[in-house]
Amino acid sequence: MMRNKVLKKKIERQQLYLRIAVTVGMVLVVANILVH
């Protein structure tokens, strides 16, 4: 039971990092388009 909760938290954290990474990537792409 306890391990399941920890695993769920890890997955949620990974999804949060993934979302941040995608957002940063989009911003970088848009910035590149605007600069060039």
Q: Look up the pTM and report it.
A: 0.65
Cα–Cα distances (Å) from 3 to 11, 16, 17, 26, in that order, read: 12, 20, 21, 35
CA distance 13 to 7: 10
**Segment (H or E) for 17:** helix 2-35
The neighbour count for residue 15, using CB atoms within 10 Å, is 10
Max alpha carbon distance in the chain (Å)?
Answer: 53
pLDDT at 16: 98
pLDDT at 36: 87
pLDDT at 1: 64
Provide the residue range defining the domain that includes 27: 1-36
**Structure confidence by residue, pLDDT tens digits, 1-36:** 678 899 999 999 999 999 999 999 999 999 999 998
Report the domain count for the chain. 1
